[in-house]
A and B are shown apart, each in its own frame.
Chain A
Amino acid sequence: MTSAPPRTPWAGRTARSLGYLACAVPVAVPALAWCVVSVVLVLLLALTRLGPRAFLASSFLARSLAGLERRRAGWLLRRPVASPYAALTAPTPGGRARELLGRPATWRDAAWLALLFPLSLVCLLPALVSTLVTVGLVAAPAWLWAVPNPNAPWFVAPLVSTWPGRVVGTMIGLALAPAVAYLVVRLADGQARLADWLLGVGPQQALAQRLVETRARVVDAQAAELRRIERDLHDGAQARIVAAGMTLALAERKLRTGPPAAADDVRLARRQLDDALAELRRLVRGIHPPILTDRGLAAALSALAADSPLPVDIRAPGTPSVPAAVESAAYFVVAEALTNAAKHADATSCRVDIDAAPGTLTVRVTDDGRGGADPAGAGLDGLRRRVEALAGTLTVTSPAGGPTVVLAEFPCAS
């Protein structure tokens, strides 16, 4: 007779579940301590200027503990439990604290940490007791002889004091084992699922997150595609047309001594090719300006500024590397704004500010014109859609009398 239960998947699952329930306690204790200490400290410090910082620090701890809990639940559930945190964008501690206060994840973390201690006891105790009783019963013949118990009540006495009784005890233990295993697995599973529900990403949020990610990928892929199209048009179609034009040019030269009518036709064909090339070049410039591919955003913007009839003061401290899609959208925002300033706003000068804070690129074009730009006009509206596709915003303020400010903000993970 052995005391170890037979190795079945159930045995492994039960052991895993017991492990999960048992290791809840080392997390539950600091979690409880966190609850008490952070509530007291944050409430006290909320009256002082340290309040936001204390709240941020306590949230950091809460997130670390919650992260541990996610890993634990993920281990038991055999699938990762994703964390729902979105990046904080406010520049000041106060702003970030306010942002955190508004996030459901903050409160769900706190709820789980507060719940963990009682919950872990409620789950662990029955699981542990029932497991020990079962294992003890199964192993009865191996140890009961060593602890004679003369005071055992009459209905237990035969089980503990006689050999056949002890073997019956083993039978009872074996019979109970599946039920106990079921109980343990259910308790652990329930706890992990609750953790997943509170700490994980809700289905709506998961969908939103996926949409944001896929949109970013689509936009990036599209930008790369446009760049490729620009190169392909220049090096493929355009080069072939030029080559055909060269051949025609040589033919035209040879026909100088031949019939004039044929020479005229060849000359006409060559001119038509020239028109095709001019058209193609115009098209490509609208798709993706070559200088952006060649020299990057800073150089492309300086070229725009230099090509404008207005004096343009361009301020771009430190050129950030931003995704291709953002780069080209920023380029077209500046191009459109400068064109409008020169054409419609009667401006005499312009200023372009490029500001790259971590995670955002801000482009601001300010002119000194007479304002009154229509933000719903075709050019600006097209730009807005382009910027919004990158999860950015385009704001145009143009009061009558000016000045016009075109502000584009792009979020970009860099």
Chain B
Amino acid sequence: MRIVIAEDLLLLRDGLIRILTDTGHTVVAAVDNATDLRAAVAEHRPDLSIVDVRLPPGFRDEGLRAALAIRAGTPDAPVLILSQYVERAYAADLLADGRGSVGYLLKDRVTSLDDFLDAIERVAAGGTAMDPEVVSQLFARNSRNRGLAALTPREREVLGLMAQGLSNSAICAALVLAPVSVEKHISNILAKLDLPPADDTHRRVRAVLAYLNR
């Protein structure tokens, strides 16, 4: 996979490059600010951009804004935002266009290598990767939602993994469940939340996130 990295801290930029090249990816550009990021994306048309939220000069949310601008110019350009902290509001910004190919993860998640590699594959393939902390913030704000209250603990677990963007088979693996029972849980969840059934995993994930974010 051809990847552009925007990360201002040298330590982390090098770490990311090392991890990605060690796992068979190509880092076509590694930049340290938002302007260079937009230029690099325009030049290389990468399969994925990995972007730090805070970038110079303001060290506020320049990275996120650049990512949104990139996606406004090139819809579906896959972007994975990495951050030292997660804010549900930022995730909502990323998800607002209703398209896939976005991810929002804590930088810590990079250290769980398999999960991280899985997440970048998912984002590049048009899917979604939401940090478990974002998902728990989403659950917290929906704690009085009747639809969610009607879910069984197991269904909540499945919903949490769906919201993170995991595919059915990944959910099966994570919860050690048979594919049939995961399917059943998912159709129960969709029914209880009054969401239309959909075969396409990505679309289902987006519907769930939109539901939790509304």
Contact = CB atoms under 8 A, between A and B. Distances in A.
Interface of A: 231, 234-235, 238-240, 242-243, 245-250, 252-253, 270, 273-274, 277-278, 281, 284-285, 290-291, 293-295, 299, 302-303, 306-310
* Chain B interface extent, by class: 20 to 34
A238 B111 CA distance: 13
A238 B15 contact: no
B112 A249 contact: yes
A248 B88 contact: no
A245 B108 contact: yes
B144 A243 contact: no
Given A231-B59, A252-B113, A294-B60, A285 B11 contact: no
B183 to A, nearest CB: 30
B172 interface: no
Interface in B1-37: 9, 11-12, 14-16, 18-19, 22-23
A293 B59 CA distance: 9
Contacts of A249: 19, 110-113
Most buried by A among B106, B108, B140: B108
A247 B140 CA distance: 33
B151 to A, nearest CB: 16
Interface secondary structure of B, over-half rule: helix
B140 A250 contact: no
B59 A290 contact: no
Nearest to A299: B89
Nearest to B112: A249
A278 B11 CA distance: 20
A274 B113 CA distance: 13
B97 interface: no
A270 B111 CA distance: 7
11 contacts: A234-B54, A238-B107, A246-B111, A247-B15, A249-B111, A249-B113, A290-B87, A295-B60, A307-B137, A307-B141, A309-B142
B185 to A, nearest CB: 24
B61 interface: yes
Contact of A235 (B9, B18, B108): B9
Contacts of A235: 9, 54, 59, 84
A54 to B, nearest CB: 51
B143 interface: yes
A291 B64 CA distance: 12
A5 to B, nearest CB: 66
A246 B14 CA distance: 10
A42 B59 CA distance: 58
Contacts of B211: none
Contacts of B18: 246, 250
Given A246-B16, A284-B85, A291-B89, 11 more contacts: A234-B54, A235-B9, A235-B54, A235-B59, A249-B110, A249-B111, A249-B112, A270-B112, A281-B85, A306-B88, A309-B143
Interface in B87-143: 87-89, 92, 106-108, 110-113, 137, 140-143
